[in-house]
Amino acid sequence: QKNLSKIIAISDMVKRDMIRWHRVPEDRVAVVYNGVDTEYFHPRNGRYRGEIRKRHGIGNEFVVLFVSNNFRMKGLNFLMKALAGLKERTPQPLRLLILGRDRQGPYRRLAKRLGLSEEIIFAGSTDEPEKYYGAADLLAHPSFYDACSLTVLEALSSGLPVITTSSNGASGVLHQSQGGFVLEDPRDVKTLEEKISYFMNLGRREKASVRARSLAEAHSTERNWREMRQIIEQSIGGKRLGA
């Protein structure tokens, strides 16, 4: 640490943790948020909506997307409980589309206990996540910890509203904007249920989609590279790096 002029944190949350837990002087820490490929993850991927929905037997239902390879860490059980509450109080049909690799058994059993066996789809892993963002209506990411979730940035870039938590560094991008909501506690099932319900309204969802895309454009990979380069150049005495 003594030989470092700057340490780069990928979110304000990570910077706070470095200062608090590792005693790093505040002026040593620069924040450069993760960047997202805004051309690859784009609202035009909505053209895959029909293809992906047909693949998984989904019609016009409201689709909540969950993307993770660690279901427990990302709060899947609490998300499922929120959807069970929604199912009881809304006539609008919904589906939870789960993308990622993890043990399905415990969650299939939970789905059965909650009466959600028909609503939950385990899609497994994929090498075309952009199509799934295009097929969904909302990304729910009630994480217990994320330094700065790329999943959230990819969803925003795809024009997808996002619900996440303050334990996710990417929540600093949202700032409680119209592009999504930030929960304080991933275990707060009632609030999670309310926020999902909010986006079941098409008009609200369309407005949030525009805002989500705008947020992502401010966090492109180009911006990430530019800020990283600037910090490195400053750290080596203002010398310019080669192209």
Residue ranges per domain, the chain?
Answer: 7-34+221-235, 43-217
Mean pLDDT of 112-137: 98
Q: Cα angle at 220 between 242 and 43, to 5 degrees?
A: 145
CA distance 152 to 211: 14
Q: At residue 176, does pLDDT exceed 60?
A: no
Who has greater pLDDT, 174 or 150?
150
> Among 65, 53, 74, which Cα is nearest to 180's?
65
pLDDT at 197: 98
Q: At residue 152, does pLDDT exceed 80?
A: yes
pLDDT at 237: 72
CATH architecture assigned to 43-217: 3-Layer(aba) Sandwich (3.40)
CA distance 27 to 106: 45
Mean pLDDT of 176-182: 82
Among 34-38, 54-58, 179-183, 234-238, the range scoring the smallest mean pLDDT is 234-238
CA distance 181 to 173: 11
pLDDT at 4: 64
CA distance 13 to 136: 28
pTM for this prediction: 0.94
Q: At residue 201, does pLDDT exceed 80?
A: yes
